[in-house]
Every structure is written in C-alpha cells, then in structure tokens.
Chains A and B, each alone.
Chain A
Amino acid sequence: MTSPVAQAPAPTSGEASQFDSSNTRKQWQVIARRFFRHKAAVFGLVLFVLLVLFAFLGGALWKYSYTDLGFRRYLPPSADHPFGTDRLGGDMVAQLIRGTQFSLQIAMVVALLSTVVGVVLGSLAGYLGGWVDTLISRFIDLLLVIPGLVIAAVLVRNSFVVSVAGGSGGSNWVIVALYLGLIGWLSIARVIRGMVLSLREKEFIEAARALGASTWRIVFRHILPNTVDVIVVNATLAIAQAVLLEAALSFLGLGVQSPDTSLGLMISLNKNELTLHPWLFFTTFTFIVLISLSVNFIGDGLRDAFDPRQRRVKA
C-alpha cells in the first residue's frame, strides 16, 4: 500500500528504531518538564527525598541511637534533644528516625504490592472477559463486603501466620504491609479493568492481534503502557494511604507491634500525652502529615503532568 504523496524512501530499520526511541524520550521529557513546573509537586518531591534521607541515613548521623534510653523521661525540647525525650527516656529524634524508616518501608511495600496485584488482575479481567472477569470481579465484591478489621485481626493474632512471618523475633511490620497491600489493590484493579475494557476495542490492539501477538504481549506491551499514567498516580497515592491506614490500625491495636515500630505505633502510644507532653504527640503527628502531604503533592503533580487536558499547569 503506497501513498502517491509519500516520495521519501522507507527508513532503514536502524533509523526507524532511533526515531522511535527519541520520540518516547521526548514524551517523557515533556512529562518531566510539566512536572517540574508544578511548584507544589516539586516541593513535595524535595520534602519526600529529605524524609527518605532522614529515615535511612539519619540513624548513622544523629548523635543518639534509638536504643539509648538513659535520659530523663519527658524532657521538653531543648538544644540537646530538639524533640525532647519520650516516656522511656529515649531521644525523640532517634525514635522518629526509626519510626519514619519503618513507616516508609511499610508504605513502599504496600504501594508495590497493591499496584502489581491490582494491575495484573484488573488487566486480566478487562482483557480476557468471560469467566476470568466474573471470577475476579466477584472476588473484589467479596473483599469489599468482608470487614477489613477481621482480616487484620487474623493476620496479627493468628499464631501460625505470626510464626511464618518471623515469630516473636520481629518482622511484624511485614505482616501489616502484606495486609494493607492485599486489601489495597481493589480500587486500582477496578480502574484498570475499566480502562482495559475500552482499550481492547481499539484498532491498534486489533492490529496487534491480527499480527499474531500473544495475549501476554498484547496486555503488557500494547495495553498497559496506555494506562501508565493512572498506574503511576495510583501507586503514589497508595503510599500516602498506607501511612495513614497503618496509623489507624496501630490506634486500634491491630497494627505494628513492638519490637518493630512505626509512626503509627509511636503516636498511638503517645495518644494520652496530648495535653501533658504535647511534643511527643505533635512531632510524630507532623512527620505522618509531612510524608502523606508530600506524596499527595507528588501524585497531584504527576496527574497534571500526564494529563495536560486539565490545564492546571501552563506547559
């Protein structure tokens, strides 16, 4: 099929692929440029990077360790202890470094797990349809109906689960992360399923199918790249959700347990100190808010960068 206008010789395969890759790079550059023009998003990114550095390098740099518990209890903030000391006589900065580290670890695992499970199951349900779709959709309905707290209680209390995940020696944070990841994939799966349902009727998918591409290849090479904006934004927001949900679970006594820790556990241990020793409550509270605020800003910036139609950013 030759068009009468097209006079230029067909590019060689080498040139073609070069053209392709420069084009995709340009697309990402455009998105990156839009993202970096979004002031709140850049603020969020800087804040988030600082928090990660604080959590993972802070322990090595700060003068006290979280195991130093010999200070006077309930010291208000001072030059030596900028955030005071807690009810066990530990330095709050050191405790916060460790708590932030655990909270970030949990949030990352949750975001990764819920995104992978949600995207795979959602795209399979949407693309394959039929009994696969019915099975996955009914399973989602089922998980929406069963109270999440019951599942959490089983995971935290059941001695078998606890022993598999590392016993009394620790790694309790892994259970909490698994739990949050396993109930967190429902919404992303539904969104992806809906998108795939409409994408699979598009001409380019039909073309790929006519060329003999396998289901696997069509889903992962042709369909999912078209949903990457939704996936990235959802994964970001899942981090913020995870930090907040973990805090709520700890408040109800179903979250991370000692010897592990987290910002959620720290703040629920200090919930009665709100009026007497407010720094214990408010420093931890501020860190939780900072993490989820920074991540929410990043997610919002990414959404705008991917979707210029909303014109939040003048690109």
Chain B
Amino acid sequence: MFRYIIRRLLISIPLLIVASFLCFGLTTAMGDPLAEWKLQKPRSEAEIALAYERTGYNQPFLDRYVDWAGDFVTGDWGETVVPGNAGKPVKEELLKAFGVTLRLIVAAELIALLLGMAVGVIGAVRQYSLFDYTATGIAFVMFSMPLFCVALIIKAGGIEFNNWLESIGAGRWLTMAGPPGEGFSGSLGQQIYQYTGAYILPTICLVMIQFALYSRFQRASMLETLNADYVRTAQAKGVSQGRAIFKHAFRNALIPIITVSSLNFGAAFGGAVITETVFGWSGMGKFLVDAVTKLEPYQVLGFMMLTAVFIIVFNLIADVLYAFLDPRIRLD
C-alpha cells in the first residue's frame, strides 16, 4: 500500500510538468495580456518596450516557460503582468482566494454528503414510497436546473427577505459580498449573526446541487446491496431488519459514494465558480475567472498547479479508500 502511494505520487510529477507546459501554451494562445492596455491610450514605443521587458513577454515562449518553472520550484509563483499598479504577487493572492473557498466548500460539501446519504438510504429502504418519489423528483429537478439561475433566484429571494426583515424593524441579515475581510466582530451572538448571514445563501446553493447527486448515488448503490444475496441470507438467518440494513447493506453501499465524494472534494478546491461569482466571494473560482478574463498567464498557472495537487491527491485517496473498503481490490 505504502509503495503504491509513493509510486502514484511519483507518476504525477511528470504529469504536473506536462500539464504546466500545456497550460502555459494555452495562456499564450488566449492572447497578449498587454493588448488591451496598449489600446487604452496612445503609448510611446519606449513605454511599451519597458512593459514587455518587465513581464518577460519580449522573450520567446520556451524561455519564459523555463524562467517560470525555475522560479516556481523555488517558491516564487510570479507576478501579474497587466500594467497599472505594480505587479501583484500571484502566490499571496491565490492563497487568500484559497482560504475563502476552503471556508465555503468544506461545510457545504459535508452537509450535502450527509444529507444525500440519509435521503438516499431512506429512499432505497422505502422504495416507491411517497418519500422516495418526492426525493427522486426533487433530485431530478435539481439536476436539470442551470446552477447560476438557481443562485440568482436564491439571491433575489435573499434580497426580498432582507427587505421584509427591514420592514418589521430588524436589520438586513443576509449579506451578499462574501465574508468580511477583517473577520467577524462583536459579541458571540453578533458574530454568529454575521457568520450565518454571510454563509447561509451560498451554502444552500452548493448543498442543493451536490445533494441531488449524492442522494441518487446512495440510493442506487443501496438498492443494489439490499437486493444482494448476502443480505437476503442475513435476513433468512433471522438478523433484525435494522442490522441487515446497516451492518450488511449500508456498509457495502458506502463504497461507490465514498469514491464519488472524494473525487468531488478534490475538484471542489478549484472553487465554485458560479456560486462565488453570484454571491461576490473572492474565492478560487472568482480568481480563475478574473485571471482568464485579464489573460494573466501566471495567475492561471498558479491556479492550475494548486488545484492539480488537490485533484491528484484526492484521486489517490479515492483509490486507497476503495481498496480499504473492499479488500477484494488490490492495489499494485
């Protein structure tokens, strides 16, 4: 097992190198990040030459890549290239965005997973009951909705709710500009009030979408194990219904959902692009959209390297957990 993990991690190093090279090529293919700046107003030749000199864009593609890679391994992730203010260091900005995303997604993913598992198990045990039909119906509708519309509707609802709160004399509880940069302040009660106000809407939005996926998965795998021969054998031997469901069927039905959720977790660190954009959280998703819009090559690369590590690690966790839960599978 240990050797397998080490080998998998070693294999991913060339993958990261190839991915960073490809990504660098893609950012170059997006266009010249200085093009818009040059059009804003007449610039002198010297000014333009200086800007290109500063960003390294006067050098050939390969040289720039080697420069970036050399700096990257020593911990320097580069600076923003679009002129204006002084170049901003990529690493600090990225880690800040990562912190914001982390605070948003961990709670949302866990709530969605637990809720989805509970609903999926009940739906499978009481197949074709009213509960099952309702849960299936809700999951289907959730699946079929464009996420950004859901987010916009939730946001509009939040504004209405704030207006109503104000009309009865309470303050505007829900905020839609992300968590305050300086943190929450005041007494414990006030902090809880601010915390829930900032987190509740985006969390609902994320939970709704992920929950649908998890509940469908859990229901399908639970149905499969409930109909399996070994569960019927257990029931025939006189094991109580609860024990047959939880000890025999549920444990084995966990395998697929744990794989799916760890893969999802890995991808989630890349940020919830839509949710963050709609609710004004400056997390990873917003960071990437801004970087792509401004054609900032080093921001895009930094984003890719950081998220790639999480995708690779959580892919590995999925495989290891799979082998751990199902001893028939051997990793070698």
Does A297 sit at the interface, judged by CB under 8 A?
A: yes
Contact between chains at B144 and A292 (CB < 8 Å): yes
Question: How many angstroms from the CA of A267 to the CA of B146 in the assembled complex?
Answer: 10
> In whole Å, how far is B314's beta carbon from the nearest beta carbon of chain A?
11
Taking CB atoms, residues of chain A closer than 8 Å to B224 are 310
Contact between chains at B141 and A293 (CB < 8 Å): yes
Taking CB atoms, residues of chain B closer than 8 Å to A144 are 311
Contact between chains at A154 and B30 (CB < 8 Å): yes
Does B49 sit at the interface, judged by CB under 8 A?
A: no
Contact between chains at A271 and B146 (CB < 8 Å): no
Question: How many angstroms from the CA of A54 to the CA of B313 in the assembled complex?
Answer: 47
> In whole Å, how far is B127's beta carbon from the nearest beta carbon of chain A?
9
Contact between chains at A146 and B26 (CB < 8 Å): yes
Taking CB atoms, residues of chain A closer than 8 Å to B288 are 147, 149
Classify chain A's interface size: 35 or more
Contact between chains at A157 and B31 (CB < 8 Å): yes
Tell me whether A146 and B19 are in contact in the complex, defined as CB-CB below 8 angstroms, given that A289-B145, A293-B141, A293-B144 are known contacts.
yes
Does B156 sit at the interface, judged by CB under 8 A?
A: yes
Does B23 sit at the interface, judged by CB under 8 A?
A: yes
Contact between chains at B144 and A240 (CB < 8 Å): yes
Taking CB atoms, residues of chain A closer than 8 Å to B153 are 274
Residue-by-residue, is A129-158 near B (CB-CB < 8 Å gives 1, otherwise 0)? 000000000100110111101110110011
Contact between chains at B144 and A154 (CB < 8 Å): no
Binds B, one of A13-21, A65-73, A215-223, A248-256: A248-256
Contact between chains at B15 and A142 (CB < 8 Å): yes
Does A288 sit at the interface, judged by CB under 8 A?
A: yes
Contact between chains at A252 and B289 (CB < 8 Å): yes
Complex partner residue of B148 from A151, A248, A289, A296, CB under 8 angstroms? A248
Contact between chains at B143 and A288 (CB < 8 Å): no
Does B13 sit at the interface, judged by CB under 8 A?
A: no
Does B147 sit at the interface, judged by CB under 8 A?
A: yes
Does A305 sit at the interface, judged by CB under 8 A?
A: no
Taking CB atoms, residues of chain B closer than 8 Å to A24 are none
Tell me whether A138 and B26 are in contact in the complex, defined as CB-CB below 8 angstroms, given that A147-B270, A157-B31 are known contacts.
no
Does A231 sit at the interface, judged by CB under 8 A?
A: no
Question: How many angstroms from the CA of A56 to the CA of B271 in the assembled complex?
Answer: 38
Question: How many angstroms from the CA of A240 to the CA of B141 in the assembled complex?
Answer: 12
Complex partner residue of A158 from B29, B146, B223, B307, CB under 8 angstroms? B29
Complex partner residue of B22 from A142, A264, A281, A292, CB under 8 angstroms? A142
Contact between chains at B156 and A274 (CB < 8 Å): yes
Classify chain B's interface size: 35 or more
Question: How many angstroms from the CA of A147 to the CA of B290 in the assembled complex?
Answer: 13
Does B4 sit at the interface, judged by CB under 8 A?
A: no
Residue-by-residue, is B11-54 near A (CB-CB < 8 Å gives 1, otherwise 0)? 00001101100110011011100000000000000000000000
Question: How many angstroms from the CA of A248 to the CA of B140 in the assembled complex?
Answer: 18
- Interface contacts (Cβ under 8 Å), in number, total 115
* Interface residues of B, dominant DSSP: helix
Which residues in window 295-332 of B have CB below 8 A to A? Answer: 295, 300, 303-304, 307-308, 311-312
Does A2 sit at the interface, judged by CB under 8 A?
A: no
Tell me whether A150 and B23 are in contact in the complex, defined as CB-CB below 8 angstroms, given that A145-B312, A253-B293, A274-B156 are known contacts.
yes
Contact between chains at B303 and A247 (CB < 8 Å): no
Does A275 sit at the interface, judged by CB under 8 A?
A: yes
Does A36 sit at the interface, judged by CB under 8 A?
A: no
Does B274 sit at the interface, judged by CB under 8 A?
A: yes
Contact between chains at A150 and B277 (CB < 8 Å): no
Does B273 sit at the interface, judged by CB under 8 A?
A: yes
Does B239 sit at the interface, judged by CB under 8 A?
A: no
Tell me whether A146 and B22 are in contact in the complex, defined as CB-CB below 8 angstroms, given that A157-B31, A247-B146, A248-B146 are known contacts.
yes
Contact between chains at B26 and A149 (CB < 8 Å): no
> In whole Å, how far is A295's beta carbon from the nearest beta carbon of chain B?
8
Does B244 sit at the interface, judged by CB under 8 A?
A: no
Tell me whether A296 and B140 are in contact in the complex, defined as CB-CB below 8 angstroms, given that A154-B29, A271-B152 are known contacts.
yes
Question: How many angstroms from the CA of A244 to the CA of B156 in the assembled complex?
Answer: 21
Question: How many angstroms from the CA of A105 to the CA of B30 in the assembled complex?
Answer: 26
Complex partner residue of B30 from A153, A253, A297, CB under 8 angstroms? A153
Contact between chains at A146 and B146 (CB < 8 Å): no
Taking CB atoms, residues of chain A closer than 8 Å to B141 are 289, 293
Known: A150-B292, A293-B141, A296-B143. 19 other contacts (CB 8 A): A145-B16, A145-B311, A145-B312, A146-B19, A146-B22, A147-B270, A147-B307, A149-B289, A150-B30, A150-B304, A153-B295, A154-B29, A248-B273, A251-B148, A252-B277, A267-B149, A271-B148, A275-B159, A310-B224
Give 27 CB contacts A-B under 8 Å: A138-B15, A141-B15, A142-B15, A145-B16, A145-B312, A146-B22, A147-B270, A147-B288, A147-B300, A150-B23, A150-B30, A157-B295, A240-B143, A251-B277, A253-B293, A267-B146, A268-B148, A274-B153, A281-B149, A281-B152, A285-B145, A285-B149, A289-B141, A289-B144, A293-B144, A296-B143, A296-B144
The 5 closest A-B pairs by CB, nearest first: A293-B144, A292-B144, A247-B146, A145-B308, A251-B148
